[in-house]
Amino acid sequence: MAQKRTGLGKGLSALIQDKESVEDLINDLGRNDTKVLELDIDKIRPKEDQPRKSFDKESLESLAKSIQENGVLQPLLVTKKNEYYEIVAGERRYRASKIANLKKIPCIVKEIDEITASKIALIENIQREDLNPIEEAYGYKKIIDEYNLTQEELAKAIGKSRSYVANILRLLNLDDRVVEFIKNGDLSTGHGKVLLGIKDKESQYKKALKIIKTNSSVRDAEELLDKKKKKNPRNKVKDIYIRDVEEKLITNLGTKVTINKTKEKGTIEIEFYNEDDLDRLVDLLTR
């Protein structure tokens, strides 16, 4: 079994907690020699592996109108890549500038290594409030994989609870079609958590379609799922104490927990979704 991963977590945490904004980090890259250049917009490209994939159309158009009237007030941060410049921070401004039909755009050009570029992209993305939960989940996964972090280390670094990070990452274990529904806004994060209770991926997908078709709330979806469980005679009504303990374990472990109790004994079932998730749970339970 894999050992607990450590190393860059402390550095990443310090970077995020010490910097109030992306601009602070950009300034630290060269306070004395930073120059703003007007670059041809056709020579600029977005960073291919950045987690943010979708941008609100109305928001971009609003920004484009502002740019037409006032120009781009904050330069993009870019790095030279062969014959073009890759965006490290500022893709939203870049997209809005294209809508505004700008030919040139102000940029700060820096030689930035991939690790630093990823850090800046991470900060910029987690500071945005309009990332959809799937973009957020992919962003967290990328940082965990690249920086060899545990979920708890990442949670501390970005000022979130460990259970919040765990629950967002769990959405990636849904059927790919359901993931797309959440990404496109057809389903909410709450719907996704409910659907995680269905192990069969095809059943997940069919239930998701029904939720969308009937415009069911998260509570409605939960009730539909509970009704199915009640039809199974093997399911018994749990007392309030057991349900409360289950909820506490779910919150603390960030995964589904089921307590099955008889008169004399019982079992606790803790779900995990991949090897990394199992390592995370073992780490939490063996401290």
Query: So which residues are the catalytic ones?
Result: 91
- Coil, helix or strand at residue 252: helix
In contact, 266 and 246? CB cutoff 8 Å: no
Quick one: which H or E segment has residue 106? Answer: strand 104-109
Q: What is the 3-state secondary structure (H, E, C) of 131-182?
A: CCHHHHHHHHHHHHHHHCCCHHHHHHHHCCCHHHHHHHHHHHHCCHHHHHHH
User: What residue has token string 């410049």?
Assistant: 85
- Coil, helix or strand at residue 81: strand
> Minimal CA–CA distance to 65: which of 100, 105, 94, 90?
100
Quick one: which H or E segment has residue 85? Answer: strand 84-89
- Rounded to 5 degrees, φ, ψ at 175 are -55, 140
Amino acid letter for position 49: D
